[in-house]
A and B are shown apart, each in its own frame.
Chain A
Amino acid sequence: MYALISIASGVASGLIGFYLGIGLTALVRVAFGHSPWDAQISITVGYIFGLVGWLMGIGMWGAWGREWFGLPTYARKAPGWQRYFVFNTDHKVIGIQYLVTFVVVFLLAGLLAMLMRAELAQAGNQFLTNDQYNAIMGLHGILMVAVAVAAVIGGIGNYAVPLMIGAQDMAFPRLNALTYWLNPPVALLLLLTPALGGLETGWTAYPPLSVLTENAQLLFNLAIITFGLTSILGGLNFIATIIYLRAPGMTWGRLPIFVWSMFVAAWLALLFTQGFAAALLMVLLDRALGMSFFNAQNGGDPLLYQHVFWFYSHPAVYIMVVPGFGLALELITHFSRKPLFAYKYAVGGLLGILGLSGLVWAHHMFTSGMPNYLHGPFLVLTEAISIPTGLIFLSALGTIFMGKLWLKTPMLFALAVIFNFALGGITGIFLADVPTDIHFQDTYFVVAHFHYTIVGGEIFALFGAIYYYFPKMTGRMYNETLGRLHFWWMFLGFNATFFLMHWPGILGMNRRIADYPSSLEGINLIISLAAFALGASFLVFVFNMIYSWVRGPVAEANPWRARTLEWQTSSPPPVENFPAPPVVRGHPYEYGVPGSVHAIVPTPLPGGAPAGGAK
C-alpha cells in the first residue's frame, strides 16, 4: 500500500507536470502567433516539468522540498520490501534499488541482443526490417551503456562504500535518493523510443543524422541528459563521502582498493559527463531551435560533435571498468587469503588511468578526416594507458601467487575479469595503432574488443560482487552450486561468442547492420548459437537470486572471513551501519600477518531480519 501510494503520487504529479509544461508552451506559442504544438519544444518543456513533478511526488517534496519554504520535512514510512519504492535516503536501500533496477535493464537489453543475433544468424533480412534492427541495436547499446555506468557505481558502490569506510551513510543522503529516482524517467523515455520511430543512430547519436531523424532521438537526448545528471551528482556524492566520512584511522593508505577505484570513477564521472550532456544538448538545440551547430551548410561542423562526445565517452569506459578492476582486486585478495600485492602500485595504476583517460578520446576518430597531425599523439597516449593498466594485472597476479585460493563463485568471477581483460586489453592495441585501426574502425573487431573489456572486465566483476554481497544485502546465502553453474556457463558462452567475433571483423563485416555479405554466413551462425548459450546462462542466475532471496539459508555476518569493515557488522546491517564509528588500526588486507588487526568495531547491534524474516 505504501509502495503503491508512493509510486502513484510520483506518476500522477509527473503527469500533471508534463501536461502543465505542454500547456504553458502552447500558451506562449499562441501568444506569439505560432501553432500551439511543436513536438521538439513541447515534449522538451513538458518533460522538464514532468521530471520535477515526478521527483516531488515520489517523496522529494516531503523529505526535502518543504524545507525550502520553511516547512517541517517528513519521510514516507514504508515497512519491509516497500521501503524500496519510496524516497529512502539509506545508502543500502538505494544501492539495492540501483542494483535490482539495472539487473532488470541488463536482462532486457540482453534479450534485445538475442533478437539481433537471431537476425544475424543468416545473411539477408529474416524477421527484422532494417529500421527495426537499427531500433533494437540502438536500444541494446544505450541500455547496456547505462547498466555499465550505473550498476556497479550506483549499486555496489552505494551499498558498500559507506560500510567499507565505516560511515553511517553517504555525505548527501537526500541527493543520493534524488540521484536514484532520476533513473526511472530515463528508462521510461528510452523504452518509449520504439513508439516514436525507433533510434536510428545507435547510442553514439552522430549528427547530422541525429538532427534529421525521428523524434525517438528527442526522447534519447532528454534521457541521456538526465542520466548524465545522475552520474555527475553521484560522482560528487562519492567524492565528498570518501574524503570526509572515513572512520578514524582509515587513512588513504588503508583505504580498500574498491573504495579507491570508486574514488577514481567518481572523479571521472564528475569531470567528463558534462561532455556527453553538452553534446546531446547541442543536438537537442539543433533539432528544437535550428541552431546549426552541426549543419555544414549553415557553417556548423559534424566533427565538433564527435570531439565533444568522445571527450566524455572514452573516459566513460574507465568509469565503467575502473570499479570493475577495484572489485576484482578486492575479491581476489579476500579469496586468496593474502595481502593485496603491490597495493600502492595498484592505487597508482588507478590514478594513472584517471590522469590519462581524458587525453585519448580522438582514437575513436582516426578515420574521421580530422587533421593527420593529431593521429600520432593520440596513438601514443592511447597505448601509454596500457602501462597503468598493467599495474592492476601485477597486483592481481601477485596476489593469487602461492595464495590459498578459496574458489567460491565471487572468486571465479574475479579471476575471469583478469583472464578476459588480458585479451580485451591486447586487442585494444590494434585499435590504438592507426594503420590497423583504419581497417577495423566500425567493424565487428571493435564489437568484440569492447565486449571483452566492458562485459569481460566490468560485468563479470559486477556478477562476482552480486554473489559476494548477496548474504550481506539479503541476510541469506545464495546456492553455491547454481552460482558455479552460472559462472562456467556464462564464462564459456561469453568467450565463445566474443572471441569468434574478431574474425568477421578482420574479414570485413561492419557493425550495426541487419544484413551482411553471404560469405560471412557460417561464422555468424556459430556466433549466434554461442550468444544464445550465453543468454541462457542468466536464467540460472535469476532463478538462484529469486529462490535464495526467499528460501536461502540464513547467512552469517561474515561468511567470507573478510577483514574489511562491511563484514564486521550484521547481515543485513542495521540502518546506521555501526553502533559507533569503528576505529581503524591497520591495513585491511593483512592476511597471514600474525596479530594483525584492521579495525576495532563496537559489538554489532542486532541487524535487520533476513529477507522474509528469521527462521
Chain B
Amino acid sequence: MARHIVNIVVIWVILTVLGALVLTLNFFPATGAEFAKDFNGIFRLLAFMGLPVVTFVFAWVGYSFFAFRARSGEDEGPAFWGRNWVPIVWLAVTAALAITVMIYPGLTGLAKLQADPRGYGWGETGADLVVKVTGFRWSWSFEYPQQGITVNAVQGRELVLPVDATVRFEVNSTDVVHSFWIPAFRMKIDAIPGRTTYMVVRPVVTGSFDDDQAFRVQCAELCGLDHAKMWLPVRVVEREEFEAWVQQMKAQ
C-alpha cells in the first residue's frame, strides 16, 4: 500500500509543478487599473491554491487507472470500508482549505472591493470625476455632469477617461437589464431599470481599444437582438489630453 501512495505522491508533485509552470504564463488581457492587478493576483492565488487539489485527483485517478486494472470482474478487492481515521482527516483538511479560501482571499478581498457600501471600488470611495452611464438597447451614453458634456450615439461613441483620476460611474438603464463591463479594469456592474448602481475605478495606465480590445465598454447581460454589438471603445488618456477632448466636445 505504501508503494502505491508514494507513486501517487510523486505523480502529484510532477503534475503540480507542470501546472504551476503553466500558471506563471501571462494569460491576462491589458491591466488598466491598480485593482485589475489585484484581480490578477487573486486569480493567480486561487489558481495556485486549487491546482494541487485538481492534480491530486488527477494523479490518484490516473495512477489507479493503470496500476489497479484487472482483466475481468472475477477478482474482488480488499474490503476497505473507510470506517477509520481517514474520512475524519479528509474532512478536517478539506474544511480547513475551504475556510482558508473563504477568509483569504475571499472576505479580505471583498472588504477591499466594497469599501464603499453602495458599490465596488477596491478601496476607492471618493471621486475626482463622475460619469453617469445609461444603458439602452443597444448602446450606451455617458454624461459628464461636472464638465457639462454628454457622449451619445451621435457624438463620439467612445468612453474617454483621464489617467490617475478616481472615476465614479453611476449606472442606469432605460429599458432592460444591461451590464456595464470594462474588461481592462476587471469590473462590471449591472444597469437596472429603476435603480442606480455604482462602480468606482481608478485607471493607472493610458490605453485604448486599438492597443488592447479589453479597453472597451461591453454589455455583459443578454439584452436581446443586438446584445453582441452593444460595446464601445474606451480610451484612457493623460489629463491634458482629457481636458482638450472636453473642450472639443463642448465646441460640437
Cβ of A551 under 8 Å from chain B: no
Cβ of A40 under 8 Å from chain B: no
Q: Could you tell me the distance between the alpha carbons of A367 and B114 in the complex, rounded to whole angstroms?
A: 12
Q: Which of A338, A369, A395, A443 is most buried by chain B, counting CB atoms within 10 A of its CB? A: A369
Helix, strand, loop or mixed for chain B's interface?
mixed
Residue of A nearest to B103 (CB): A380
Which positions in B face A, CB cutoff 8 Å?
A: 1, 4, 27-29, 38-39, 42-43, 46, 50, 53-54, 57-58, 60-61, 64-65, 68-70, 72-83, 86-87, 90-91, 94-95, 97-98, 101-102, 105-107, 109-110, 112-114, 117-120, 175-177, 179, 181, 183-184, 186-190, 192-195, 197, 212-214, 216, 218-229, 231
Name the B residues within 8 Å of A401 (CB-CB): 4, 60, 64, 68, 80
A-B CB contact pairs (8 Å), 14 listed: A208-B175, A302-B193, A342-B87, A367-B179, A367-B189, A369-B197, A384-B102, A386-B97, A398-B86, A403-B64, A419-B58, A426-B54, A507-B183, A561-B73
Q: Could you tell me the distance between the alpha carbons of A342 and B193 in the complex, rounded to whole angstroms?
A: 51
Q: In the assembled complex, how far is the CB of residue A505 from the closest CB belonging to chain B, in whole angstroms?
A: 10
Size category of the binding interface on chain A = 35 or more
Name the A residues within 8 Å of B27 (CB-CB): 503, 506-507
Name the B residues within 8 Å of A206 (CB-CB): 176-177, 221-222
Q: In the assembled complex, how far is the CB of residue B197 from the closest CB belonging to chain A, in whole angstroms?
A: 4
Report, nearest first, the 6 A-B pairs whose CB atoms are least far apart: A296-B194, A508-B183, A342-B82, A513-B228, A369-B197, A404-B70
Q: Does B69 lie within 8 Å of A407, measured CB to CB?
A: yes
Q: In the assembled complex, how far is the CB of residue A284 from the closest CB belonging to chain B, in whole angstroms?
A: 17
Given contacts A303-B192, A418-B61, A435-B105, list 14 more A-B pairs with CB under 8 A: A134-B224, A208-B176, A302-B194, A338-B79, A343-B82, A345-B91, A367-B179, A391-B87, A395-B82, A402-B80, A435-B113, A442-B188, A508-B29, A512-B222
Q: Does A335 lie within 8 Å of B82, measured CB to CB?
A: no
Name the A residues within 8 Å of B193 (CB-CB): 208, 296-297, 302
Q: Does A434 lie within 8 Å of B69, measured CB to CB?
A: no
Q: Does A435 lie within 8 Å of B109, measured CB to CB?
A: yes
Q: In the assembled complex, how far is the CB of residue A403 from the closest CB belonging to chain B, in whole angstroms?
A: 4
Q: Which of A486-527 contact B (CB under 8 A)?
A: 503, 506-508, 510, 512-520
Name the B residues within 8 Å of A339 (CB-CB): 79-81
Q: In the assembled complex, how far is the CB of residue B238 from the closest CB belonging to chain A, in whole angstroms?
A: 24
Q: Could you tell me the distance between the alpha carbons of A415 and B57 in the complex, rounded to whole angstroms?
A: 11
Q: Does B73 lie within 8 Å of A560, measured CB to CB?
A: yes
Name the B residues within 8 Å of A380 (CB-CB): 102, 106-107
CB contact under 8 A between A209 and B223, given known A369-B195, A418-B61: yes
Q: Does A337 lie within 8 Å of B39, measured CB to CB?
A: no
Q: Does A435 lie within 8 Å of B39, measured CB to CB?
A: yes
Q: In the assembled complex, how far is the CB of residue B230 from the closest CB belonging to chain A, in whole angstroms?
A: 9
Name the A residues within 8 Å of B179 (CB-CB): 367, 441-442
Other-chain contact of B106, A204, A379, A514 (Cβ < 8 Å): A379
Which positions in A face B, CB cutoff 8 Å?
A: 130-131, 133-134, 200-202, 204, 206-209, 212-213, 296-297, 300-303, 335-339, 341-343, 345, 367-369, 372-373, 375-376, 379-380, 383-384, 386-387, 390-391, 393-395, 397-398, 400-407, 415, 418-419, 422-423, 426-427, 429-430, 432-436, 438-439, 441-443, 503, 506-508, 510, 512-520, 560-561, 590-593
Q: Does A508 lie within 8 Å of B82, measured CB to CB?
A: no
Q: Does B177 lie within 8 Å of A436, measured CB to CB?
A: no
Name the B residues within 8 Å of A391 (CB-CB): 87, 90-91, 94
Q: Does A406 lie within 8 Å of B72, measured CB to CB?
A: yes
Q: Could you tell me the distance between the alpha carbons of A328 and B184 in the complex, rounded to whole angstroms?
A: 41
Q: In the assembled complex, how far is the CB of residue A125 from the closest CB belonging to chain B, in whole angstroms?
A: 8
Q: Could you tell me the distance between the alpha carbons of A390 and B86 in the complex, rounded to whole angstroms?
A: 13
Q: Could you tell me the distance between the alpha carbons of A201 and B75 in the complex, rounded to whole angstroms?
A: 54
Q: Does B101 lie within 8 Å of A429, measured CB to CB?
A: yes
